[in-house]
Amino acid sequence: MDSLIKKIHQAHQHSFDFPAPKVIHQFLEDLLGLMFPEFSAHTIREEEDVKSSLEMLQANLSHILSRNSHLHDGDGEQLAQYFFDSLERVFDWINQDVDAMYAGDPAAKSRTEIIRSYPGFYAISAYRIANVLHRLGVAIVPRMITEHAHSKTGVDIHPGATIGQHFCIDHGTGVVIGETTVIGDQVKVYQGVTLGALSVEKSDADIKRHPTIEDHVVIYSGATILGGKTVIGKNSVIGGNVWLTKSVAPNSKVYYQTQMHHEAGAATDLYIFKNDFDEMGE
């Protein structure tokens, strides 16, 4: 027991004073609740109250970043100011994501339903917020935000990923989007999709390891797309359960098909590539 006590004590002596997860999670919830009254069920009637709420949240973030200066190389108060200067764009882009989810899901009856209940809304919103902090050079906190969303939704988006406008995640469970993934505009992703890396050495962590998805691509459930040199060309459709480690030309359809050999009673797995966009139905 004495040995264990000594080891735990040493671990505490060498640890940094990180912000508590519940503090970061509450900041995320408060920010989303302010931007989207449907999320919090609390409506602010006066414009001045919006201003004071924003100022309070900015003060909270400034306190978090100033108290934990080892998480960044800048000034905590200034970084908080930069974050809130970027918040209008984040707000506009999240609203575009909600529009994309509403347009892309026939089962959605209203934007309110999406904001209140869709995991895609929560996961994408958390990513958009975390991504700003990541780009400002803040460590740990962006990952705490996206991993909190991951635990709630089953959607794992690294805050370092680059995701364009009008992004739609339908259903969501099991979606993984890696750190160096680049996603264009008007992209739709279904449940169980992995945008991941091929096995690389730890020393290669700073290179582009994850795929690029160009504009207007749809990726159906269970598809796995791997590798930093893999590019899915614009207007392409990637079918369910497809495994890709090579690039796909624009306007392509790629789908998985099992071909039976009746004479042998065996099956062969095929990947079918089509560049005639209109040849197949959805």
Contact, 123 vs 169, CB < 8 A?
Answer: yes
Residue 126 has pLDDT above 90, yes or no: yes
Secondary-structure class of domain 174-282 per CATH: mainly beta
Over the stretch 27-84, which tens digit does the pLDDT of each residue have? Answer: 999 999 999 998 886 788 899 999 999 999 999 999 999 999 889 999 999 999 999 9
Count CB-CB contacts under 10 A for residue 103.
13
Give the pLDDT of residue 14.
72
Give the pLDDT of residue 17.
73
Give the pLDDT of residue 12.
82
Over the stretch 189-210, which tens digit does the pLDDT of each residue have? Answer: 999 999 999 977 777 777 999 9
Pairing label, strands 176-177, 194-196: parallel
Pairing label, strands 266-274, 253-261: antiparallel
Could you tell me the pTM of the whole model? 0.89
In the CATH hierarchy, which fold is given to the domain comprising 18-154? Answer: serine acetyltransferase, domain 1 (1.10.3130)
Residue extents of the structural domains in the chain: 18-154, 174-282
Pairing label, strands 266-274, 168-169: unpaired
Q: How far apart are CA 144 and CA 141, in angstroms?
A: 5
Regarding predicted confidence, which is higher, 177 or 273?
177
Q: How far apart are CA 188 and CA 237, in angstroms?
A: 10
Give the pLDDT of residue 269.
56
DSSP string, the chain: -HHHHHHHHHHHHT---PPPHHHHHHHHHHHHHHH-HHHHT-----HHHHHHHHHHHHHHHHHHHHHTGGG-SS-HHHHHHHHHHSHHHHHHHHHHHHHHHHHH-TT---HHHHHHH-HHHHHHHHHHHHHHHHHTT--SHHHHHHHHHHHHHS-EE-TT-EE-SS-EESS-TT-EE-TT-EE-SS-EE-TT-EEE-----GGGTTS--S-EE-TT-EE-TT-EEE-TT-EE-TT-EE-TT-EE-S-B-TT-EEEEEEEEETTTTEEEEEEEEE--TTSS--
Residue 264 has pLDDT above 70, yes or no: no
Residue 271 has pLDDT above 80, yes or no: no
Give the pLDDT of residue 154.
97
Over the stretch 127-169, which tens digit does the pLDDT of each residue have? Answer: 999 999 999 999 999 999 999 999 999 999 999 999 999 999 9
Q: How far apart are CA 132 and CA 273, in angstroms?
A: 37
Q: How far apart are CA 272 and CA 278, in angstroms?
A: 15
Over the stretch 75-122, which tens digit does the pLDDT of each residue have? Answer: 999 999 999 999 999 999 999 999 999 999 999 999 999 999 999 999
Give the pLDDT of residue 40.
82
